[in-house]
Structure 1
Amino acid sequence: MTHKHCVNKCGVRTGTGAQCCERARPGTMLLYPLLVLLLLASAACTRTFNITHLIVPEVVAPGITDVEIECRYDANFTLLNWFKGPNEFFRYKPGAAPSTRSFPILGVGRVELIACGPAACRLRLGALTEEATGLYRCDIERDVPPYKFETRTAYMEVHGHEHRRPLLEGLAEEYGDEDDIQAYCRGAPDAEIRWYINGREIEEMRGSPSLKRQSSRLIFQGIPPVVTVQCAEFRYGKLSGSKEMKARWIDPANSQKDERAQEQRNSSQVLSISVAVILLLCFILL
């Protein structure tokens, strides 16, 4: 009878038959999970993470108040965001409860979900006005290893959606740190007033005809820094009119420089006048 022998790495026979199998089994059992993990990691790394199409109308003609936008992708993401300019208006997080959430933006009266899934996210934007013109962006990201991010943008221009504009007044041309930003909005008698700063609604001010907020450098955007204040009037939940104004940020350092420069100019003017008066007196006395 022939017996199979186990041989160690040094070439020494260490057992036969079942003993050999018993010694080999633990290593084999550990190998399979490692292979599975390697295969999963390889699949995660090699899978594409792309936005394949971003469908946004380039031009919205007069009379069209609703449009559909769509973001198509080939990606295993954990979060999708829609933006207009810097302002987010829709979020999709697979597996969360709820998995979708929308945010108000000026120019778009309604944001409706058509469908969001593993291949595409499609929305309907309704009650559009000319303020809906702008750059639209779809972002997808994976916030767990392996971390990934992809974005794509498209511009939409909305024509001929004129509406009445409420009266916005009281906003100063510039503000410094901790100044009070105050404004007043007069809309139609049956309208609800809503306030926006840099395109994002101040929800606690909804229904109030006046806005009051403390100035901070954090709310001034761009170069030079400006803040955009908008009042909008809504009827039956739909935007019917809006007006916006901008204010500049006062840099304390530049403000001091301007004050010193103004003082120097004033001193120069006083000196020039004094010299002119002295010369005039000398001329009269002569």
Structure 2
Amino acid sequence: MELNLNRQQILRMIDDALAEDIGTGDLTTEAVVDSTQQVQGELIAKEEGVIAGLAVAGLIFERLGAKIDYQQQIEEGVRVRPQTVIATISGLAAPILTGERVALNFLQRLSGIATKTAQYAELVADYDVRIVDTRKTTPGLRMLEKYAVRVGGGFNHRCGLYDAVLIKDNHIQVVGSITEAVEQAKEGVPHTVKIEVEVETLAEVKEALASGVDIIMLDNMPPELMEKAVGLIAGQTVTEASGGITAETIKEVAQAGVDIISLGTLTHTISALDISLRLGSDNNDRPKG
């Protein structure tokens, strides 16, 4: 999978990250490394996982304005074994050392998200259901984190408040009812925009159905109640399960018959994949995939 995203937006993220880390200069590298010194090295995945963000890492070194040769050794989205060389790098030592941490931060986090997404997708592979993300992303990194979800085999929910209507419990509390909120939404947005409503009870399911929504989110429902709700909806609209779903319960949720399972944990509760940059070594015996 290629990094088919808005290049300028990615570069802004990279520039912000580099400015945060470098500030007025890399004191250590400038003090101890000769500006003409050349190095070569390898980016190594130290644990099993799905790799995402290789192109982002390359852009970081490119952004530092130096002659650096960065070569991916595997395809984006590949699951690797521990000690796999995922990219090689050579060129001036100083900019490589300066960009090392920012490149690894992006690679490790995006690969962690892709790995976790793949885990959940594999758990429900036997069911006709999609695993999707939420807006529970790191501020400023949403586009890349949602990209990593796709690399891991998941799908994206709305990207922001601007591309879909999702009427949640607090909206209903403010407006007064599901019916009133949906009616106002239909009057206020183009007909091309889908309208989703969050429900917690069977009575709310019936009200949402009567309102003619496009998607019903079954929020924090136990699987047995969720199954009743899906039966009540009977294919009249898309069904989404959300809230408190874990690796231990996700199969039960899929068995309830929902179309979509949304998981904030894909992006807000992840472990970064352990990846390191090793300079000056010649490790030709390491696995390449």
Which structure shows the higher helix fraction? 2
Q: Give the TM-score taking structure 2 as reference length.
A: 0.22
Which structure shows the higher strand fraction? 1
